[in-house]
Structure 1
Amino acid sequence: MAALTSTVMPLTGGTIAFTAAAAGGDTCQTGAGVLLVVKNGDASEHTVTLVTPGTVNGLAIADREVTVAAGAQVGIPVNDDYRDPSTGRASLTYDAVTSVEVAVIRGLA
């Protein structure tokens, strides 16, 4: 797993720097205002899964799956619901990484 670095966006705006999605998955910061941006340059749709750690009354909480259409770009909020208490980061997996790029951005607090 690769640890994605968050880019803080200034109030005047900024460039989003994408990196290739890792075949073994990635991790990223969580919190209010954190956004995972996924760009799918492939001819097929791909699914990004945000692992949801924890349980409620002994039942596992379902992971969040987000489908990214071919040629599309989506933003996915990564709030603290996805924070793994053992790492302090969210775990991300992908059904495939062909032509998939990701970036993590957050606004100024």
Structure 2
Amino acid sequence: MNERRAHLRFDKVFTVYLTTQDGMTRGIGRNISARGLFVETREPVPLGEKLKITFAGEDGTEMTCLCEVRYQVALAYGKRDGREGNSRGVGLRIVAYETQDEAPLLLVDRERVMH
């Protein structure tokens, strides 16, 4: 099967912070590219919702991007010990990045790309 994605993916597990209209929560970022990423979440996030994702480095640096929810995933599976397991997440399209040079945050637009 051929890979349809045009951009290289970075398959790494890392903590991200999601800011929605309802507040802030933590998620697990996975499979990030220049145009999007997948985030495991505790609660569902509606399709099309705009949210901010903040990446925090171990050295205290932060980067925030504005994203749009493109799809949702809910997975139920059996664990080795026989118990049930589950996972939930959202596929996000990166719409813009926030940069902080002086005081105000600047939203840097990105071209619209469909995943």
- Please say whether Structure 1 and Structure 2 have the same fold, judged by a TM-score greater than 0.5: no
Q: Which has the larger radius of gyration?
A: 2
Give the TM-score normalised by the residue count of structure 1: 0.30
Higher strand share: 2
